[in-house]
Structure 1
Amino acid sequence: MLNQTILEKLNKQINLEFYSSNLYLQMSAWCLSKGLDGCGEFLRQHAEEEKTHMYRLFDYVNETGSMAVLGAITAPKTEWASVIDLFQAIYDHECAITKAINGLMGAALAENDYSTANFLQWYVSEQHEEEHLFHSILEKANMIGTEGRGLFMLDREIQKMAAARAAQPQG
């Protein structure tokens, strides 16, 4: 059984991951409404990935003999000024999630909860990958530009990323 401090922090993280899924799905809808099908598909995939992150935490909490508790999920915003603003918002969000995961890891270690710390190690690595991914997308967007053909090229590049992710084995 988890101690109350760790349980509360894990339940908060469950809800943060659920919010992330909703945020990326909303961002997918925004992209699709702008004709950015590649970005829309990529973000829809990412929304599903965030949901699996939520389920992974949910299962861990319940496997420990504790109970996962779902809270209210704030509705994400629906408009962004540009695709660069959208991906900057994603990068900033992923940095905030990294901070939350690091805080959770710190709390687990402070409570000598090595099982939870071991479980969270996957999230620490995942967040490194997420930050790198969205930072690289921002770099590409700034390199290519987002005016006219640049936006078309960026969408195509992200569509290739979506196709590559879809081809990867799920696990």
Structure 2
Amino acid sequence: MLKPKIEKALNKQIELEASSSQFYLAMASWAETQGMNGTAAFLYKHSDEERMHMLKLIKFINERGGTAVIPPLTKPPAEFESIKEIFESLLEHELNVTDSINNVVDVCLSEKDYTTHNFMQWYVSEQLEEEALARNIIDKLNMIGNDKGGLYLFDRDLENLAAQPINMA
């Protein structure tokens, strides 16, 4: 049985993962309307991945005797200045997610819930990858600058990246 503090922290994380999925979905839609189909494919996939993170939490809470709370959808922004702004926003958002996951881990330790702590280690590792990927993409965009040929190749590279399967092990 989950302790109330743990259940509350996990449900807050569900809300953040759902929000992340919506945020990345809005980014994908915007990129697609800008002719950046590779970037859109990458972001659509990222949106799906965030939803799967949410589902993993929902199932964990319910399996441990808690009650997962499905959050309402919050409207994400519909307009973005540029592809670079999208990925800077994505990194900032991922840093917030990391802080939230670290908070859940902290609550697990203070409540001596080592089962949930162990479960959350997957999310800790996932966040390292998410942040590194976002920083790498921003570095590439900084190298490209305003070069349209470079942006074309960047978009194509993201399309190839999006074609790789999602690892949810």
User: Does the alignment reach a TM-score above 0.5?
Assistant: yes
Offset, 1:70 = 1.6
Where does residue 101 of structure 1 map in the other structure?
Answer: 101
The offset of 1:158, in angstroms, is 1.2
CA distance in 2, matches of 1:14, 1:156: 32
* In structure 2, distance between residues paired with 1:99 and 1:37: 31
Distance in 2 (CA, whole Å) between partners of 1:105 and 1:128 is 15
- What amino acid is the match of 2:5? T
Distance (Å, rounded) in 2 between the aligned partners of 1:68 and 1:18: 13
Cα distance in 2 for partners of 1:41, 1:146 equals: 22
Uncovered stretches (5+) of structure 2, i.e. residues with no partner:
none
| Matched AA of 1:14 | I
Partner of 1:79: 79
| Contact 1:18–1:50 (8 Å) recurs in 2 | yes
Counterpart position of 2:41 = 41
Distance 1:92 1:2, change over 3 A: same
**Cα separation, 2, equivalents of 1:129 and 1:75:** 26
Name the amino acid aligned to 1:89. S
Report the counterpart of residue 143 of structure 1 in structure 2.
143
Deviation at 1:23, TM superposition (A): 0.9
SS of the residue aligned with 2:27?
A: helix
Find the residue that maps to 1:16 and give its secondary structure: helix
> In structure 1, what is the equivalent of residue 118 of structure 2?
118
SS in structure 1 of the partner of residue 86 of structure 2: helix
Which residue number in structure 1 is paired with residue 26 of structure 2?
A: 26
Q: Root-mean-square deviation (CA), in Å?
A: 1.3
Q: Following TM superposition, by how much is the alpha carbon of 1:71 offset from its aligned partner in structure 2, in angstroms?
A: 2.3
Identity %, equivalent residues: 42
Q: How many residues align?
A: 169
Shift of 1:33: 0.2
Counterpart-to-counterpart distance in 2, 1:170 and 1:2: 23
Moved over 3 A (4+): 168-171
TM-score by length of 2: 0.95
Deviation at 1:26, TM superposition (A): 1.0
Code of the aligned partner of 1:156: R
Structure 1 residue 30: Cα displacement: 0.4
Could you tell me the TM-score, scaled by structure 1's length?
0.94
Give me the whole-angstrom Cα distance separating, in 1, the residues matched to 2:26 and 2:85: 14
Contact 1:26 1:78 in 2 (8 A): yes
Match of 2:131 in 1: 131
- 1:169–1:127 distance in 2 versus 1, CA, 3 Å: closer
Opposite residue 132 of structure 1, the aligned amino acid is A
Alpha-carbon distance in structure 2 between the residues aligned to 1:94 and 1:24 = 11
For 2:20 and 2:37, the matched residues in 1 are separated by: 20
d(CA) in 2 for partners of 1:64 and 1:161? 35
